[in-house]
Amino acid sequence: MVKALFLFIAAVLHSIIYHLKQFFSINLIEEYNSKNFEKFINVNNDFWKNNYTNLDKEKRNILVTNFVHHAGYTKAEVIFAKNIQNFYNFNIIGLIDVNDNFGKKLIKSFNINNFIVYPKINFYQRVKFLFQSFKIIKNIKNIDDFINFELDNISFGRAVYDHTIRNTAICSFNQISYKFFFFLSDALFCDSYSKKLFENNNFEYMIMSENQFLPSNIIFQNALKSNVKVISRVGGPKKIGVMLYKSIDEKYYSTYKISKNLFNKIFNTNRELYSKKGFEAISDLFSGKTIHYDQHSKDIFLESKKQSRNIYNVLNWDKSKKICAVFSHNLLDGNYTNGNRLFRDNLTWLRETLKFIKNLDLDINWVIKNHPSDYGFNRINTNTFKEFQNIIGEQDNIRFFPKEINTSLIKDIADCLLTSQGSAGLEYPCFGIPSIIAGNSFYKSFGFTLEPNSKTEYFEMLKNMHKIMDNGLSRQQIDAARINYYIVSELIKVDHSLLFNYDIKRSIDLDDFFDQSTDLISKYKKENDIFKKRFKKQLDAKERHLIT
């Protein structure tokens, strides 16, 4: 109680400073104007011209959210909304941040004139919700209880923990911080706002692809709780699909989590054919012919600096010894996108795994691979390599994967791999390599991964690594992995005729983006819009993903 009170006071002081800075700053979202943008606005407005611009209170509504503030994301999501409007004659309403003039102008170019503004929390509201945060946290015993905190079927703890890691660049917490009070007050404010939003509007669909952090995650959960179906983008930028969320029970489903019905249908229809297609697709990925379906890992096999060399010579290892690869994660991202996990966060999983294998008396070599986006976060005080140096140091049988070596070579030397919930756990079983995962993932429960239910089981598997390596995977398990890969990388997505492979980073060249976007409109042919046809079939059938 005393500690909670101390942290509460620290959160109040932090809030005073925060709101003073907010008061004396303009807080405009970055503006953008150019001839290319203006040309796109005019052409796009004419292209989407229709009779839907005025709000019809008798109709159901579509809510389009815009919290990422990236032109490519906004464009794709508004296209989804316009397609649905065309299918079912609904209204479209945009949900935008205060002062998001650029986002509003871009959305309006699709002949959308109805907007709701998501407000900034003011100081008086902050104090109100900080007191509510104090009432909650004073009764929470430890950090794990905080993470698991739910209220009225809304998971606040996981949302706040993920958001705190992202915004503080502290990759793991062993005890409750005053920042939890601060961000929990944001989440409670958002929850209060969201309840009224969905109570007072007749929404049938909400379009939201990025739902991991605040305020998006709380709005996302409240939409599902209010029986509003949520549409999220799958993949992209050009090759794109749609995930349809229909229930609050799906709030921790990845957009790549395919239904068992779809998998079984493909697996049982022609297992040999689709396994072959999956192997061709994964081989193209590892050879660099295609880009990774996870946008944040798209350059994983394409970096020119990586050369094919004899990795055994580089690592000074004997070829006769078996190898287990440990695939680390982005330490600031994706901690609770899949829900339950065995370890508190990505950093905790990495540390405990390294400490455990360091002391294993096994005749096995271990190679530690950092995540492709690990290099890009200069503001954090650790990364996979630093953790490796601190915990492993110099140990002959445990090496850090050399960055000058092509990642694809791991499949040629590994006999098993470890990942908490990363895509490697799906990719490497396609080559017959067993994978051990430490939590929920989009490919879990399809029969080709080893899935411990506790830390004790996880570490027991590591102790018995030789047995896992010797057993390998059955033909059926390899086929299941390849078919799963084919479905998520190919079958549930299609090239969109109005999209292209734009830069997903903040460094996007907007002049070029709007120039290419305008050009695609001039080339568009309705009869060739395969995405729209498959999207309609998906929504009519209420399927999770695009269907043929």
Q: What is the DSSP string of 352-383?
A: HHHHHHHT---SEEEEEE--TTGGG-TTSS--
What is the pTM (predicted TM-score) of this model? 0.95
Residues linked to residue 349 through DSSP beta bridges, in sequence order? none
Q: Helix axis angle, 2-23 relative to 123-137, nearest 10°?
A: 160
Confidence category of residue 376, pLDDT binned at 50, 70, 90: low
Domains of the chain: residue spans and CATH: 2-27+135-192 (no CATH), 260-491 (3.40.50.2000)
Can you read off the two tokens belonging to residue 440? Answer: 């929920």
- What was the pLDDT predicted at 397? 95
- Specify whether the CB–CB gap between 438 and 404 falls below 8 A: no
Structure-block tokens of residue 528 = 């060739």
From the number of C-beta atoms within 10 Å of its C-beta (0-12, 13-18, 19+), residue 119 rates as exposed
The values of phi and psi at residue 335, to 5°, are -70, -35
| pLDDT per position as a tens digit, 121-159 | 999 999 999 999 999 999 999 999 999 999 999 999 999
The first and second tokens of residue 93, run together, are 């309403």
Cβ-contact 207, 63 below 8 angstroms:
yes
On the CB side of 475, how many CA atoms lie within 13 Å of its CA? Answer: 3
**What single-letter amino acid sits at 255?**
T
Q: Which residues contact 322 (CB under 8 A, 6 or more apart)?
A: 363, 364, 365, 415, 416, 465, 466, 469
Among residues 373, 350, 10, 381, the alpha carbon closest in space to that of 169 is found at: 381
Mean pLDDT of the chain: 93
Question: Binning pLDDT at 50, 70 and 90, where does residue 282 land?
Answer: very high
In this structure, the strands spanning 61-66 and 203-207 are parallel
- pLDDT(298) > 60: no
pLDDT above 70: residue 531: yes
Averaged pLDDT for residues 422-446: 97
pLDDT of 463-521, one tens digit each?
Answer: 999 999 999 999 999 999 999 999 999 999 999 999 999 999 888 999 999 999 999 99
Strands of 416-419's sheet in order across: 398-400, 364-369, 322-327, 416-419, 435-437
Angle between helices 260-269 and 271-286 (to 10 degrees): 110
